[in-house]
């Protein structure tokens, strides 16, 4: 539903059905809403059978990369004699994204259940939920849900009376965007600085504590109980455009738009109608200038590009961007694009873990140049320099934070070049000139 707004008739609330319903937070309330039946079903199944169902459903990772979840789970080999781990990525820090926060605030048991099912499917006895430190309320809700689940015997050494051991622990982060990168998250969980690791080895081979590990996003795991309950065909059938994208997706919408909030729609929903009908369109007297559809790391779309886009993994690529985390940032014609892109670059410069030179130097240098242009002190050569730095920052580092910083710069200069040039030739921000 369009939390904090009322649900729109064109939404398909699955994960968000109980957002805003305080009774759904408790174990009793969650059971009354059908909770933990899927886990009971799962614990009676062979792990490989669960993985196959998830594979057939077409569920793909909701954290940003869109990797097929069942396939990821199939890399784990239950019974290989090694301890396995499930790590749930709840470090939601991608600017524009605030969906996992609402899942954890309103339906914490949905995530506990998803984690327990996932752990069983990959042969893990322990699951960690890594929640960013700033999420004080989600931390409170998740800790309470885990406590209730242990007290009720859902978790522990005899999970739901099946004799299987499933532990779920909440782990609090301490302020670092980079810990949303899965290998950085594992380092952080181990008590290290959150520096990403070189791959290979991949987590399924040597992950957390050097053991086979699967990392899944909150929204991904929260979808799993619904797939087990309703069947893979039902989930796969929820697809309006590309058959490679199935199910529902939570989109967080923010910025200069009438009704910001979370919206849950079936994959392939038309983006133009979404922004206009569900989210209410631009603020009075304004026009959309730019849309960043999948969190700060994806290419910027023009409103025209957004209008023709279908909201799924393939659709956003066809529309010149990416689905990413589903965090839609809307920027209107009252905003200066140079200023906004400079601010995004500043974010990445602040959050760089600084272990790769291209990223450490590139994000800082990019920010410096962009802020110089915004202040009216840039040159035309600066634009070439920015693109050259961006080229050196793309595909050359351990993780993709560097690429993520380059992305809005490249797409921004390509699509809004006249704004950059106006700052350079006019030696001031033209938007500021209007305001003055």
Partner 1 sequence: MSASGTSGTHMSSPASHAGGHGQGANEAPVFEGARRQELDTLLTRYPTKMAALLPALWIVQAERGWVSERSMTEVAALLGLTPAYVKGVVTFYTMYHQHPVGKYFVQVCTTSPCGVCGAEDVVKAFLRHTGTGDLGTTSADGRFTVIEVECLGACGFATPIMINDEFIESVSAETVPEIIARLP
* Residues of the shown chain interacting with partner 1 in the complex, contacts defined by CB under 8 A: 4, 83, 92-98, 101, 132-137, 167, 169, 171-178, 188-194, 209, 252-256, 260-262, 296, 327, 329, 331-332, 335, 340, 343-344, 346-347, 349-354, 360, 363-364, 367
Smallest distance, Å, CB 70 to partner 1? 27
Smallest distance, Å, CB 62 to partner 1? 15
Q: Which is nearer to partner 1, 76 or 176 (by Cβ)?
A: 176
The DSSP string of 36-60 is THHHHHHHTS-HHHHHHHHHHHT-B
Q: Which is nearer to partner 1, 242 or 258 (by Cβ)?
A: 258
Spatial separation of the C-alpha atoms in residues 235 and 246, rounded to whole Å: 7
Q: Which is nearer to partner 1, 236 or 372 (by Cβ)?
A: 372
Tokens of 284: 């009075």
Smallest distance, Å, CB 435 to partner 1? 13
Of 430, 435, 253, 436, the residue nearest 336 (C-alpha): 430
CB 241 within 8 A of CB 113: no
Q: Which is nearer to partner 1, 72 or 132 (by Cβ)?
A: 132
Smallest distance, Å, CB 137 to partner 1? 6
DSSP annotation of 281 reads -
Spatial separation of the C-alpha atoms in residues 413 and 94, rounded to whole Å: 22
Smallest distance, Å, CB 3 to partner 1? 9
Q: Which is nearer to partner 1, 16 or 57 (by Cβ)?
A: 16
Virtual torsion, Cα 101, 106, 112, 115, nearest 10 deg: -40
Smallest distance, Å, CB 93 to partner 1? 6
The DSSP string of 121-156 is HHT-SEEEEEE-TT-HHHHHHHHHHHHHHHHTTSSB
Spatial separation of the C-alpha atoms in residues 425 and 417, rounded to whole Å: 12
Q: Which is nearer to partner 1, 236 or 286 (by Cβ)?
A: 286
């Amino acid at each position: 539903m369009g939390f904090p707004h009322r649900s729109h008739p064109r939404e398909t609330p699955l994960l968000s059905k109980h957002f805003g319903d305080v009774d759904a937070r408790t174990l009793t309330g969650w059971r009354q809403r059908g909770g933990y039946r899927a886990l009971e079903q799962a614990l009676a199944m062979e792990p490989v059978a669960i993985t196959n169902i998830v594979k057939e459903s077409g569920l793909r990772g909701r954290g940003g990369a869109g990797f097929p979840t069942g396939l990821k789970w199939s890399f784990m080999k239950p019974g290989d004699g090694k301890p396995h781990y499930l790590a749930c990525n709840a470090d939601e820090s991608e600017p524009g994204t605030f969906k996992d926060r609402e899942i954890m605030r309103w339906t914490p048991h949905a995530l506990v259940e998803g984690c327990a099912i996932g752990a069983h499917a990959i042969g893990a006895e322990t699951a960690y939920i890594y929640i960013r430190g700033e999420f004080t309320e989600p931390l409170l809700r998740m800790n309470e849900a885990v406590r209730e689940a242990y007290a009720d015997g859902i978790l522990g050494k005899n999970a739901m009376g099946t004799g299987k051991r499933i532990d779920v622990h909440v782990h609090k982060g301490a302020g670092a965007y980079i810990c949303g990168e899965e290998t950085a998250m594992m380092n952080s969980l181990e008590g290290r600085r959150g520096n990403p690791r070189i791959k290979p080895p991949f987590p399924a081979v040597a992950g957390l504590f050097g053991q086979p590990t699967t990392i899944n996003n909150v929204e991904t795991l929260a979808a799993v109980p619904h797939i087990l309950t309703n069947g893979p065909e039902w989930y796969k059938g929820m697809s309006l455009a590309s058959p490679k994208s199935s199910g529902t997706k939570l989109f967080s919408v923010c910025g200069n738009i009438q009704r910001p909030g979370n919206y849950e729609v079936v994959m392939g929903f038309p983006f133009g109608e979404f922004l206009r009908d569900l989210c209410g369109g631009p603020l009075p007297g304004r026009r959309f200038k730019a849309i960043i559809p999948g969190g700060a790391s994806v290419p910027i779309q023009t409103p025209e590009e957004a209008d023709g886009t279908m909201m799924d993994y393939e659709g956003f690529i066809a529309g010149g961007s990416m689905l990413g985390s589903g965090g839609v940032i809307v920027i209107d014609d009252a905003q200066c694009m140079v200023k906004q892109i400079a601010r995004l670059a500043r974010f990445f410069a602040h959050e760089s873990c600084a272990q790769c030179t291209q990223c450490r130097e590139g994000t800082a240098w990019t920010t410096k140049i962009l802020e110089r242009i915004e202040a009216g002190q840039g040159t035309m050569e600066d634009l070439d320099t920015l693109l050259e730095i961006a080229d050196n920052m793309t595909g050359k580092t351990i993780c993709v934070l560097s690429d993520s910083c380059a992305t809005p710069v490249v797409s921004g200069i390509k699509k809004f070049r006249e704004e950059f040039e106006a700052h350079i030739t006019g030696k001031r921000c033209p938007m500021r000139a209007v305001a003055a």
